[in-house]
Amino acid sequence: MRRCALFATLLSFAGCLQSESGSDVDGPTWHAEVAPLLADRCGACHTDGGIAPFSVQTYDDAAPWASAMADSVQSGRMPPFFATESDECDMQIDFLDDVRLSDEEKTLLSDWADAGAPQGDPATAAPTPMREVNHLENPDAVVKLPQPFEVSGDRDIYQCFRVEVGNTEDIWLTGLEVIPDNDLVVHHVLVWNDPEDNSAQRAGADGSYRCSGQPDVWPSELVAAWTPGGSPTRSPEGSGSLFHPGAVLVVNVHYHPTGTTTEIDQTEVALTWTDEQPANHTTWYLMDIPFGAESDGQFQIPAGEAAHTETVSLTVPNLIPWDLPVFAITPHMHYLGTEMLVTQRSDDGDTCLIHAPNYRFDFQTQYVYDRNSGQLPVISPGDTIDVRCTYDNSPSNPFLDLQLEAAGESNPHDVGWGEETGDEMCMAMVGLLIPPIDWLQIAGGF
Ligand code: HEC
């Protein structure tokens, strides 16, 4: 474009315009390179009616965002897929649904923005199929929160809903998709199996109860976690999560009220299952600071520190008689969390399970290993897992205001462990394949 302006004095204006929209523009153009790249990597969310603030479906929608897009991919804020190879993490296996951009693709977006977002020639347009929103195919059932729920006020609400599935035989859940009803207020959703229906005693007439970030009933087991833009939870082929007749789902919704309006939500959950016993069961192990340790003051993120780390370690007891393949990991921290590294120490050396710099509370992406690209990592008894969390409790953290609001504070302050959004956590949700035993029944005996 700059070249065009220079030549404008020599060439006819019409000729210049033509070269601007014509095929002889230097560098990348919308039609030739940019549109297909954005459609594939950003299109699942940045689409008309999608969860993101603008669409990349047409030139007119996307061009005004050219610089912002280049900046967001350079800084690693977008796309919200944060797992990566790094000096600290030599991954041996890929992740599914990896929408990251290569360095060349990032440069392409910067060059395009620097050149003033040229449109190029529609005749050179490459095919631009928008990435499909990743839905669960052919659900066996779609269940709903028992009643519409009113969300108002200005404090976050964790509400647990008791949801019946209605199966009359044992089933093994293989897929689960949360379909949020009111996007304005549904912040994130955890779905638990409550095998003994203990939530019946907790729930009021509307089938729900106020709870912490957990279902607050035992025994219980996490079966899926969802945040905006997240994919459905699918268990690897030949595995599933045992669900007895009479069990219920506890759908734990974290609502973030608008502060000014009363909103109504009745979120749904789509399920797929098999009624044939699979070779493996799946379970999510929540690796967090040890029970009771929150009160010893060890976990403390000092006010003003921009890169404070906490490490949570766990050695798998030798009592456990199996090797445990890991199929997925979801890092979980709150607004101060900026980076998570999960590594495994074993007799054979160290293995990196995931490194997620640029972590963000608003996108708690679930990272699922692609079994076609390598062997699943396997945790053996005696191995130690280290979860290292990094926090920014300083004004350089763009989410500090949200943290302060959630904590009801006006200045940075020391932050300790806790489940409220204004506290912090250092939790890796680790998706494991286990032998087909009814471990919840065993756990319920304790
Ligand atoms: C999983 C869904 C998702 C994907 C994939 C995604 N975005 Fe976003 N994007 C969002 C949401 C939601 C927001 C608004 C909330 C926010 O920024 O926190 C957003 C905001 C943005 C913004 C404005 C805020 C900022 O950080 O500058 C830009 C620019 C952006 N996205 C660019 C991109 C680009 C470029 C891609 C693809 C390379 C992409 N996004 C992929 C969901 C997504």
Take residue 48 and report the two structure tokens written for it.
Answer: 């008309």
pLDDT of residue 360: 93
Confidence of residue 231 (pLDDT cuts 50, 70, 90): confident
pLDDT in tens, 246-280: 999 999 999 989 889 999 999 999 999 999 999 99
Catalogue the long-range contacts made by 113-117 (C-beta closer than 8 Å, 24 or more residues apart).
113/66, 113/67, 113/69, 113/70, 114/70, 115/1, 115/2, 115/25, 115/26, 115/27, 115/28, 116/1, 116/66, 117/30, 117/63, 117/66
Closest-CA residue, ligand 1 atom 9, reads 52
pLDDT of 381 over the 50 cut = yes
Q: Which atom of ligand 1 is nearest to the CA of 77?
A: 26
The C-alpha angle 288, 298, 394, rounded to 5 degrees, equals 90
Q: Other CB atoms closer than 10 Å to residue 246's CB: what's the count?
A: 12
423, 417 Cβ separation under 8 angstroms: yes
Alpha-carbon distances of 328 from 224, 353, 388, rounded to whole Å: 11, 9, 17
Q: Which atom of ligand 1 is nearest to the CA of 75?
A: 26
**Which amino acid is residue 331, in one-letter code?**
P
pLDDT digits (tens, 9 = 90+) for 85-140: 999 999 999 999 999 999 999 999 999 999 999 999 999 888 888 887 788 999 99
Around Cβ 192, how many Cβ atoms within 10 Å?
A: 23
Centroid of ligand 1 to alpha carbon of 32 (angstroms): 22
| Shortest-distance atom of ligand 1 to CA 229 | 1
Q: How far is the CA of 227 from the centre of ligand 1 (A)?
A: 14
Ligand 1 is surrounded, with C-beta below 6 A, by 41-42, 44-46, 51-53, 65, 68-69, 72-73, 77-80, 99, 101, 228-229, 362
Q: Is the dihedral of CA 277, 278, 279, 282 positive or negative?
A: negative
Do 79 and 99 touch, CB atoms closer than 8 A?
Answer: yes
CA dihedral 77, 81, 87, 91 (to 10 degrees): 180
C-alpha 180: how far from chain center: 15
| Ligand 1 centre distance from Cα of residue 55 (Å) | 10
Give every CB contact of residue 232 below 8 A, 6+ residues apart in sequence: 134, 135, 136, 175, 176, 177, 224, 270
The protein residue with its alpha carbon nearest to ligand 1, atom 15, reads 52
| CA 116 / ligand 1 centre spacing (Å) | 20
How remote is the C-alpha of 277 from its chain's centroid?
Answer: 29
Ligand 1 center to 334 CA (angstroms): 19
Q: Which of 33, 45, 95, 105 to mutate to test the pocket of ligand 1 (most atoms within 8 A of CB)?
A: 45
pLDDT in tens, 126-143: 888 888 778 899 999 999
Percent pLDDT > 90 in the chain is: 76
pLDDT score at 202: 96
**Alpha carbon of 133 to ligand 1 centroid (Å):** 15
Name the closest-CA residue to atom 11, ligand 1: 52
